[in-house]
Structure 1
C-alpha cells in the first residue's frame, strides 16, 4: 500500500495501533523483569563486615608483633639486671650548671653534696644467689658479701678534691690528705676514661670557638635515683655523710 495516499484518519488509527502494540509489548517486558531480591544486598553487607574485621585483626596482629620485637630489641640492648645487683636503668639527662656544687664551702653547699650520697655511704649487703668470680677484696668463704657501689666512691673522691682545694686556699695545708688526693685523682681519671662519654659538644663560630661549657647537651646515663634507692635499701649502716 502506498503510505503517501493513506487518509489522515487512517494514519491516526495506524499510529494508535502501533502505540497499542508497544504498550502491550512493554507490559509483557515488565512481566519478565526480575526484581532483585534482598539477598545480594545482605551478602554485600556481610562481606563488608568480614573485610573490616579482617583489617582490624591484621592491624592488631601487626601491632602486637611490633611491640614484641621492640621489647626483645630493648632487652638485647639493656639486659635484665640480676635482682641482687645494682639496677642498670638507662636514662637521658641534660647537663645544666648548678652553682651550689661549685660554689664556696658553706653549710648550704655541704648539705647539697651530702644529699648526693645515700644512707650507708654506698656500702651494701650483696645477697648473691650464685658463685662469684674472684676479685680484689672478695672473700668467697663468706655466705654473703659486702661491697661499695663505685659511683658513690667516685662522688666521695670528687668531694675530697673539692674539700682539699678550699682547705689549701684557706692555708690549712696540714688538713689536706695528700695520699688520699693522689688516690682520688687517678681513680677519677680512670673512671672518666672508662665511661668514655661520646656526647658531641658543638663548637660555635669565631670568636666563640675556643671550647664548650658542656651545658645543655643530652647524655645517655644510668638512672642515679634507682641506684640511690637500691643502695639505701641494701645499706650496711645508717651513716649519712660524704666525707670520711
Structure 2
C-alpha cells in the first residue's frame, strides 16, 4: 500500500514536471508575439494621437477664420496682409493735375502719377488662383494717361474726336478702359467712406474747404507698395 502511494506521488510529480516543461517550452514562442502586439498598440496610439492633433489644428484654424470679421478695405480671401494705419496730412500737390497750358506740366503730372505705381503695376502673383474669385490689385494709372490725352489736345485725343463717330468712340478700347477706371474710382468712393472732417480754408473767408490741410487716417501706402513689389507678377512698370 505504501508503495502504491509512492508510485502515485511519483506519477503526479512526473505529470507536474511535464506540464512545467511544456509551459517553459511554449514561452519562447509566445514572447515574440507579445512584443509584436505591444509594438502594434504603440503604433496605433501614435497614429491616433497624430490624427487628433491634425484634426484639432484644422478646427482651430477654421474657428479663427470664422470668428475674425473681414478687415475694412481688406481682401476677402486673406491673400493680402493687413497694413498699419497712419495719419496722413494731405497738402496741395501742383503735379497732381495739369495746368492745361504746357507740355512740361503734362509730363510732370504723368511722372508724378507714375511715382505712385509699384513695380509690376500692382498685379500680384497668387498661388492656386483658380480657387479664388477673380480679383486684381490695380493702381489706377490708365485713367491719368487718358485724362492727359483728352485734356491736353494731344494728337491721339484730337483724332478720337475728329475721326470717329459717337458710336465708335463708345466702343473703342481706350474709352472702355477709361470707363473701367472710373468704375474703380466709384467703388473706392463707396467703399472707403473717408469720414475725416476738413476745416475751412484759412486763406479765404468763404465757408468752404479745398481738400488739403486735414489729417486723414489711412493705410500705410509705402507698406502697400513695398508688399505689392515683393509679390509682383511681372517686373515692368508703367505702360
TM-score (ref. length: structure 2):
0.51
Pick closer, same or farther for the CA change 1:233–1:204 going to 2, 3 Å. closer
Change (3 A) 1:171 1:157: closer
Deviation at 1:123, TM superposition (A): 0.6
Match of 1:199 in 2: 196
Question: What per-residue deviation string (whole Å, max 9, x for no partner) do you get for residues 151-195 of structure 1?
Answer: x1xx22542453243344778333583222222223212211211
Displacement of 1:239: 0.7
Is 1:90 the counterpart of 2:78? The answer is: no
1:1-244 matched pairs, under 5 angstroms: 85-104=80-99, 105-127=105-127, 134-135=132-133, 137=134, 148-150=136-138, 152=139, 155-168=140-153, 172-175=157-160, 177-203=174-200, 208-241=205-238, 243=239
Alpha-carbon RMSD: 3.7
Q: Name the CA shift for 1:131/1:84 in 2 (closer, same or farther; >3 Å).
A: same
Q: TM-score, normalised by structure 1?
A: 0.51
Q: Aligned pair in 2 of structure 1 residues 113, 149: CA closer, same or farther (>3 Å)?
A: same
Give the structure with the larger helix fraction. 2
| Secondary structure of residue in 2 paired with 1:148 | coil
Q: CA deviation at 1:149?
A: 1.3
For 1:181 and 1:193, the matched residues in 2 are separated by 19
Are 2:96 and 2:113, in contact at CA under 8 Å, matched by a contact in 1? Answer: yes
Residue 197 of structure 1: how far off its partner (Å): 0.6
Q: Can you give the 5+ residue segments of structure 2 that lack an aligned partner in the other structure?
A: 1-67, 100-104, 162-173
- Name the CA distance, whole Å, in 2 between partners of 1:223 and 1:95: 14
Whether the aligned pair in 1 keeps the contact of 2:113 and 2:141 (CA below 8 Å) is: no
**Aligned residue-pair number:** 152
Instruction: List alignment gaps of at least 5 residues for structure 1.
Output: 1-74, 138-146
